[in-house]
Amino acid sequence: HIESMAFLTHQVTRGFSSSAVRNVIIKQVMIIGGGQMGAGIAQVAAATGHSVTLVDMSEDILKKAVKGIEGSLKRVVKKKFADKPEAGAEFVQNVMKNVSSSTDAASTAQSSDLVLEAIVENLKIKQDLFAGLDKVAPAHTIFASNTSSLPISDIASSTSRLDRFGGLHFFNPVPMMKLVEVIGTSATSQDTFDSLLNFSKALGKTPVSCKDTPGFIVNRLLVPYMMEAIRLHERGHGSKEDIDIAMKLGAGYPMGPFELLDYVGLDTAKFIIDGWCLMDPNNPLFGQSEMLNKLVAEGKYGRKTGEGFYKYK
């Protein structure tokens, strides 16, 4: 009986709400940013039957991104369709049919259910991007950012769709990592949040609900942990190697904190901690590390530059 009541009231409220605000089923996806994250999200969305348009500034970046998606799919297929190469080739073809690219963000936004941004971690650039798209995107279109460290509400503030703005934080490499952090601000409507949760599930991911606080869940715990590992080493209380081995064998982590820092990028770690330190200067967890600052100043960012805390051949 209670269920039927809930169903009835749901029907009535649905009648009142405008079609723009109702729970949007996300089919047409616009992804801004053809880097590793943008291309990874595009691949997963296309592989789960969504129509995806990847948008970036230049045709060259987009060509490279689309080629990268195809290469990544072919690697997936080698494992998945090991004994059926024809079926594998067909799968790749079908997924690639769902992927298009464009340098025209405004016209792409006009036919999108979701506009997801995965560009440089710069608040002003993100705000300017969304402010422009807010004027051309349909009323039902949901905006989302893949930021890992900037407040969603700060990015959303440049638009007039605060109720249809949220965060979708994917993890690298996107096709492999199962988690999506779905972030709602105090202004995000329940319908929008549900649409983002459902979209994450439709991608075959496991979503977790997060409040719009620095670092959401994963980075809020992970970045201070990595910083504390550096401080432990700076104090002379453990070598990098011993700290890494200790956390791998003692806590069951797949990588130690220094290996992880080199993988994530020391420049990225420093960028995040610097930003949080500005937001909350008295929080000891967000304090600076001289060793990290020195390595970044020397251009030693980790794996991507061949040297960070460790050297890579």
**What residues are designated binding site for NAD(+)?**
33-38, 56, 121, 126, 148, 172, 304
Catalytic one among 98, 146, 149, 181? 181
- Beta-bridged to residue 102, according to DSSP, are 55
Binding-site residue ranges:
33-38, 56, 72, 79, 121, 126, 148, 172, 304
Considering only CA atoms, which of 221, 215, 155, 204 is closest in space to residue 181? 215
CA–CA separation, 265 and 242 (whole Å) = 21
Catalytic one among 219, 233, 259, 289? 219
Catalytic one among 101, 145, 146, 148? 148
Both structure tokens of 29: 């996806």
- Note whether 74 and 92 are within 8 A (CB): yes
The backbone region for 167, taken as left when phi is positive above 0, alpha when psi lies in -120 to 50, beta otherwise, is beta
Q: Is the dihedral of CA 170, 210, 18, 199 positive or negative?
A: positive
CA–CA separation, 228 and 78 (whole Å) = 41
* Residue 219 annotated among the catalytic residues of the structure: yes
Furthest-apart CA pair in the chain: how many Å?
Answer: 68
Residue ranges with strand state E in 97-205 = 99-102, 114-117, 142-145, 165-170, 179-184
Could you tell me which residues come within 8 angstroms of residue 247 by beta carbon, excluding any fewer than 6 positions away?
229, 253, 256, 257
Both structure tokens of 255: 């990588």
Please return the burial class of 117, using the count of CB atoms within 10 Å of its CB with bins 0-12, 13-18 and 19+.
buried
- Note whether 205 and 174 are within 8 A (CB): no
Q: In 3-state terms, what secondary structure has residue 209?
A: strand
Q: Is the dihedral of CA 264, 268, 273, 279 positive or negative?
A: negative
* Residue 181 annotated among the catalytic residues of the structure: yes
Binding-site residue ranges for CoA:
72, 79, 148
Q: How many CA atoms lie within 13 A of 87 on its CB side?
A: 8
Catalytic residue positions, numbered: 148, 169, 181, 219
